[in-house]
Amino acid sequence: MEKSFHYLLMANQAVFHKKLLSNLKNTCLTLGQPKILDYLKDHDGASQKEIAAACYIEAASLTSILNRMEEKGMIERRMLNGNRRSFYIFMTPFGKELQEEVANSFTMLEKEAFRNIPEEKKEELIDLLLTIHNNLIAERKANDID
Q: Is 116 helix (H, G, I), strand (E, B) or coil?
A: coil
Kindly list the domain boundaries of the chain, sorted by start residue.
Answer: 5-113, 117-146
Strand partners, 75: 91
For residue range 74-99, list pLDDT tens digits in order. Answer: 999 998 877 767 889 999 999 999 99
Helix, strand, coil percentages (3-state) for the chain, rounded to 5, are: 70, 5, 25
Tell me what the pLDDT averaged over the chain comes to: 92
Give residue 39's pLDDT band: very low, low, confident or very high (50, 70, 90).
very high
CATH topology of domain 5-113: Arc Repressor Mutant, subunit A (1.10.10)
